[in-house]
Amino acid sequence: MDDKVRVDKWMWAVRIFKTRSMAAEACKKGKVSMNGLTIKPSREIRIDDKIDIRFPPIIRSYRVKAISGKRMSAKLAVDFMEDITAQDQLDLLNATKSYGFEHRQRGAGRPTKLERRLIDKLKQ
């Protein structure tokens, strides 16, 4: 474990972002705040810092449990952070996912002619 790590490197290491450049870009755009203040990617983190990240339409919140600058597996990442996102934000995320009756399961393909007619009938 490291004692000083940049916030963009930590967010990449615990798999919040897929790449470190995506984490740095989010900081530069003002989507990341630490303890209520908007931060730059070079800001160093400490244990028990609270990090808020805007992933529209919600704001995800994390608490730093441990510090590491090396990318780890998803199973190990839970030991380094705690997801403290408010329940109302998670409810909002679930509401946007289930919005509308036209949602099809991923990989289900295009609707058949019969399904298309049923969809059109429901819309009217």
Task: Burial-class residue 43 by CB neighbours within 10 Å (0-12, 13-18, 19+).
Answer: middle
| Residue 56 lies inside a defined structural domain of this protein | yes
In this prediction, residue 119 has a pLDDT band, given cuts at 50, 70 and 90, of confident
Name the strands in the sheet holding 32-34, side by side, starting at the edge strand that comes first in the sequence. 37-38, 32-34, 50-55, 58-64, 81-83
Q: Say if residue 100's pLDDT is above 60.
A: no
Bigger pLDDT: 65 or 115? Answer: 65
| Residue 102 lies inside a defined structural domain of this protein | no
- Pick from 103, 90, 2, 104: nearest CA to 44: 2
In this prediction, residue 105 has a pLDDT band, given cuts at 50, 70 and 90, of confident
| Residue 84 lies inside a defined structural domain of this protein | yes
| Residue 72 lies inside a defined structural domain of this protein | yes
Q: What is the mean pLDDT of residues 41-70?
A: 94
The pLDDT value recorded for residue 76 is 94
CATH code of the domain in which 39 resides: 3.10.290.10
What is the residue-averaged pLDDT of the chain? Answer: 89
The two tokens of residue 119 are 């969809």
The pLDDT value recorded for residue 99 is 56
Q: What is the pLDDT of residues 59-73, one digit of tens each?
A: 999 999 999 999 999
8 Å CB contact between 32 and 53: yes
In this prediction, residue 122 has a pLDDT band, given cuts at 50, 70 and 90, of confident
| Residue 101 lies inside a defined structural domain of this protein | no
The two tokens of residue 96 are 């946007």
For residues 23 and 27, what is the distance between their CA atoms, to the nearest angstrom? 6
How many domains is the chain partitioned into structurally?
Answer: 1
* Count of residues in the chain: 124
Helix (H, G, I), strand (E, B), or coil: what is residue 44? strand
Which residue range(s) make up the domain with 82?
1-90
Q: What is the mean pLDDT of residues 20-49?
A: 95
